Amino acid sequence: MNKNRIEQVFVGKQALICFITGGDPDIETTEKLIVAMAEAGADMIEIGIPFSDPVAEGLVIQAANARALENGCTVDELFAMVKRVRGKVAIPLLFMTYMNPVFVYGKERFMKKCQECGIDGIIVPDLPFEEKEELADVCKQYEITPISMIAPTSEDRIEKIAKEAQGFLYCVSSLGVTGLRSEIKTNVKGMIEKVRRVSKIPCAVGFGISTPEQAKEMLAVTDGVIVGSAIVKVVAEYGKESVEKVEKLLREIKRVF
Amino acid sequence: MVYKKGRFGEFGGQYIPETLMHALSELEMAYAYYKKDTEFQKEYVNLLQHYAGRPSLLYNAKKMTADLGGAKIYLKREDLNHTGSHKVNNVLGQVLLAKKMGKTRVIAETGAGQHGVATATAAALMDLECEIFMGKEDTKRQALNVYRMKLLGAKVHEVSSGTMTLKDAVNETMREWVARMEDTHYVLGSVMGPHPFPTIVRDFQKMIGEEIKEQIIRLEGRLPDAVVACVGGGSNAMGSFYEFIDDENVRLIGCEAAGLGVNTSQNAATMTNGTIGIFHGMKSLFCQDEYGQIANVHSISAGLDYPGVGPEHAYLAAIDRGEYVAITDAEAVEAFGYLSRMEGIIPAVESAHAIAYACKLAPTMKPEEIMVVTLSGRGDKDVAAIARYKGVKINE
């Protein structure tokens, strides 16, 4: 079977996956950040679609969502921006979005636009295995890879989720919401061993990874790391001037790969 | 119609982060077991009767009936329950369930504070730790209930994200639960959220309608023509309606909050203005924009100030079994005073929405027809806010 663009990222290497909230602080900065992050070594980028009520997010990304919405960012603007930036970066781009913005926009209309602007995959944190049929058909039709998640509480759910996972498996490192954490207590290695019993799908760990040291620790057991809040925090601090600072952070993290 | 687990037609479901799925299936299994456990049911009924004071009265509002000159009006007096509202019915069930599941801590959201007070009460009774999340705006509107929760030994967290009301309190309670599930049960306060909550909460409220049926048959020898209740998330309404769903001649009427008016930007009229969406774990109707951003809603009533509605109500509306109407702040305040003067009963401002519609509907009905209005709670908590609304200064 041919590997899709997301799976190809993991061939022969480990991946650095970066998250930013789209439209934070504005759409132009988001576009610049995507280009800069790709140059600084990001292997894949998740663009968060701002939502009024990001229930799975900690304070840092909640605030980013609020900033983006205050500045009037809409998903239509994000589609247009992705289309522009697609000409400049080759790495896979994914949307991270709650279910409601997709559902209300129209599931088919949404995926069609994703395909047209060059989005590779979609991560929907409030769409668990039991509800994945909600997007399965439209994702398939428009060749958008739906990314599945496993959590420290998944235990015997891991096998069924891993068996049907596509692209990569998003391994949530800790209980709770997104955000910086001083240490990751979960037995991530154990989680991934459970995945390996049934699937070869690449596993990337996210939630709470902010430093090169944490990334290094995780890379000992996984195929990739996802860095989100740490980047968004820099954007919060430096706003439109954050591009170089984010680049610097990524180069530091990339050094441990 | 294909019935899927946890679905009411197309509504309901479990749209929740993977981290919480384990807790939800644990809850689902525990509930399925204890629902059939006679010991559990005995303990629950014992609490309802000897602690909460059930069954609640079905009161014939004779003066109101005479004044409105139409249907014979009965009030289902949930305001007489311990803690002052129907919320205690659900809370006693869920906290008892949590205890059986070995949980040592309960958390809950609250709008008007009634659910928070009820949860804090049950937690005190059953020796569980209790933390309540309440929008900062609501802690101001309902300062008395905040203090009441603290008296009962609960910790109250002021939520200052978003609109600082019920929706944000739910967000924050979910965030807390996802961080700590092992020892903690989330006592969801209405017939909403992910499966199995809409079913569990409805089951723990359905005695309202069962009692209405038994009482009205004893008093009148027949079923009512209409059952009227206020709807925020919709638990007292669902509890009132459920027993009557198959009795097709009984009109089921839910009264939601029109705030300053359904055509203004300041309302919480989900059934009137809402569109289908997926939020707070459920597919249902929500006040939202064309991009699926949840709207800032408004109601004078903190308990109805919510941009969504329980999925079973969305279903009852979709199959034309339930009727839903919107009542403005002004109409509710008017009804608040009306019932106080007319019957000597001060209703919760939430319940006043149902009273307001009863006042409109009764004169259009015949004297031989019967209407039951569920009075979901008492209005002591609202006295200060109503005075403020009317510009009356009182020493609180």
Rg of chain A over CA atoms, in angstroms? 17
pLDDT, residue B2, reads 43
Q: Where are the beta strands (DSSP E) in chain B?
A: 7-8, 11-15, 58-60, 72-77, 105-110, 129-135, 155-159, 184-186, 226-230, 251-259, 275-279, 281-286, 322-328, 370-375
Can you tell me the mean pLDDT for A117-132? 97
pLDDT, residue B394, reads 79
The token pair that represents A157 in the structure block? 């759910």
Give the integer Cα–Cα distance in Å for B78 and B376: 5
Q: For residue B263, how far is the Cα from the chain centroid?
A: 24
pLDDT, residue B5, reads 80
Closest listed residue to residue A129, CA positions, set B171, B16, B181, B186: B16
Tell me if A88 sits within 8 A of A42, measured CB to CB.
no
The one-letter amino acid at B161: S
Can you tell me the mean pLDDT for B237-256? 98
Write down the catalytic residue from B87, B99, B167, B213: B87
Rounded to a whole number of angstroms, the distance from the CA of A101 to the nearest CA of chain B is 5
- Give the ranges where A118-157 is alpha helix by DSSP (H): 133-141
CA A220-A223-A224 angle, 5° bins: 95
pLDDT, residue B313, reads 98
Provide ipTM, 2 decimals: 0.96
pLDDT at B395 over 80: no
DSSP, collapsed to helix, strand or coil, labels residue A170 as strand
Peptide bond into B55 cis (omega under 30): yes
Give the integer Cα–Cα distance in Å for B72 and A194: 65
Q: Chain B residue with minimal CA distance to A157? A: B22
Kindly determine whether residue B14 and residue A129, on different chains, have CB atoms separated by under 8 Å: no
Give the integer Cα–Cα distance in Å for B95 and B119: 8
State pLDDT tens for residues B297-323.
999 998 899 999 999 999 999 999 999
The rounded percent of chain B whose pLDDT value lies above 70 is: 99
The one-letter amino acid at B296: N
Q: For residue A153, how far is the Cα from the chain centroid?
A: 20
pLDDT, residue A178, reads 92
For chain B, what is the mean pLDDT? Answer: 96
State pLDDT tens for residues B22-53.
999 999 999 999 999 999 999 999 999 999 99
Which residues span the domain enclosing A35? 14-147+213-252
**Is A84 a domain residue?**
yes
**Is A221 a domain residue?**
yes
Total domains in the fold of chain A:
1
The rounded percent of chain A whose pLDDT value lies above 90 is: 95
Rounded to a whole number of angstroms, the distance from the CA of B237 to the nearest CA of chain A is 26
Tell me if A192 sits within 8 A of A222, measured CB to CB.
yes
Assess whether B99 and B16 both reside in one domain.
yes
**Is B4 a domain residue?**
no
Task: Report A:141-160 residues touching B (Cβ under 8 A).
Answer: 149-155, 157
pLDDT, residue B1, reads 40
Nearest to A153 among B13, B15, B22 (CB): B22
Rounded to a whole number of angstroms, the distance from the CA of B276 to the nearest CA of chain A is 8
pLDDT, residue A190, reads 95
**Is A196 a domain residue?**
no
**Is A47 a domain residue?**
yes
Peptide bond into A25 cis (omega under 30): yes
Kindly determine whether residue B18 and residue A161, on different chains, have CB atoms separated by under 8 Å: yes
Can you tell me the mean pLDDT for A5-17? 96
Assess whether B162 and B293 both reside in one domain.
no
Closest listed residue to residue B166, CA positions, set B122, B133, B128, B192: B133
Give the integer Cα–Cα distance in Å for B142 and B151: 15
Total domains in the fold of chain B:
2
List all residues 6 or more positions away from B181 whose beta carbon is below 8 Å from its beta carbon: A153, A175, B19, B20, B22, B23
State pLDDT tens for residues B190-234.
999 999 999 999 999 999 999 999 999 999 999 999 999 999 999
pLDDT, residue B4, reads 73
State pLDDT tens for residues B316-338.
999 999 999 999 999 999 999 99
**Is A53 a domain residue?**
yes
pLDDT, residue A157, reads 96
State pLDDT tens for residues B155-172.
999 999 888 999 999 999
Tell me if A25 sits within 8 A of A50, measured CB to CB.
no
Assess whether B325 and B236 both reside in one domain.
yes
The token pair that represents B10 in the structure block? 């197309």
Assess whether B213 and B271 both reside in one domain.
yes
Q: Where are the beta strands (DSSP E) in chain A?
A: 15-21, 44-48, 93-96, 121-123, 145-150, 169-172, 203-206, 224-227
- Measured CA to CA in angstroms, residue B359 lies from B66, B269, B300, B341, B372 at distances of 11, 19, 19, 14, 12
Give the integer Cα–Cα distance in Å for B149 and B24: 27
- Indicate the residue among B177, B202, B227 that finishes a domain: B202
The token pair that represents A18 in the structure block? 């970066």
CA A113-A118-A119 angle, 5° bins: 80
pLDDT at B112 over 90: no
For residue A16, the number of C-alpha atoms closer than 13 Å in the C-beta half-sphere is 23
**Is A200 a domain residue?**
no
**What CA dihedral angle connects B208, B209, B210 and B216, to 10 degrees?**
110
State pLDDT tens for residues A46-73.
999 999 999 999 999 999 999 999 999 9
On the 0-12 / 13-18 / 19+ scale of CB atoms within 10 A, A101 is buried
Give the integer Cα–Cα distance in Å for B282 and B377: 26
Query: Phi, psi (5° rounding) for residue A50?
Result: -60, 140
pLDDT, residue B346, reads 98
Give the integer Cα–Cα distance in Å for B51 and A128: 39
Reported for B143-149, long-range contacts at CB under 8 A and 24+ positions apart, including other chains, are: B143/B384, B143/B396, B144/B113, B144/B380, B144/B381, B144/B384, B144/B396, B145/B110, B145/B112, B145/B113, B145/B114, B145/B116, B145/B117, B145/B381, B146/B113, B148/B113, B148/B117, B148/B120, B149/B110, B149/B113, B149/B116, B149/B117, B149/B120
List all residues 6 or more positions away from A113 whose beta carbon is below 8 Å from its beta carbon: A79
DSSP, collapsed to helix, strand or coil, labels residue B175 as helix
Can you tell me the mean pLDDT for A235-254? 97
Assess whether B319 and B178 both reside in one domain.
no
Kindly determine whether residue B15 and residue A101, on different chains, have CB atoms separated by under 8 Å: no
Which residues span the domain enclosing B127? 9-48+87-202
Report residue B396's pLDDT band, with 50, 70 and 90 as the boundaries. low
**Is B187 a domain residue?**
yes
Can you tell me the mean pLDDT for A25-45? 98
Q: Which of A100, A157, A170, A186 to mutate to test the interface with B (most CBs of B within 10 A)?
A: A100
The answer, for B160 touching chain A at a CB cutoff of 8 Å, is no
Report residue B372's pLDDT band, with 50, 70 and 90 as the boundaries. very high
Closest listed residue to residue B281, CA positions, set B199, B189, B197, B202: B197
Assess whether B287 and B222 both reside in one domain.
yes
- Indicate the residue among B153, B172, B202 that finishes a domain: B202
- Indicate the residue among B202, B231, B254 that finishes a domain: B202
**Is A105 a domain residue?**
yes
DSSP class of residue B193 equals: S
**Is B396 a domain residue?**
no
Assess whether B185 and B261 both reside in one domain.
no
- Give the ranges where A71-228 is alpha helix by DSSP (H): 75-86, 99-105, 107-117, 133-141, 158-164, 188-196, 212-219
Write down the catalytic residue from B331, B350, B376, B381: B376
Tell me if A58 sits within 8 A of A31, measured CB to CB.
no
Q: What is the CATH number of the domain that holds A117?
A: 3.20.20.70
Assess whether B302 and B280 both reside in one domain.
yes
Chain A residues in contact with B292 by the CB 8 A cut-off are: 51, 100-105
**Is A74 a domain residue?**
yes
Nearest to A151 among B19, B281, B288 (CB): B19
Assess whether B19 and B65 both reside in one domain.
no
| Tokens 């509202």, located at residue | B85
Asked about B109 being catalytic, the answer comes back as yes
Q: What is the CATH number of the domain that holds B120?
A: 3.40.50.1100
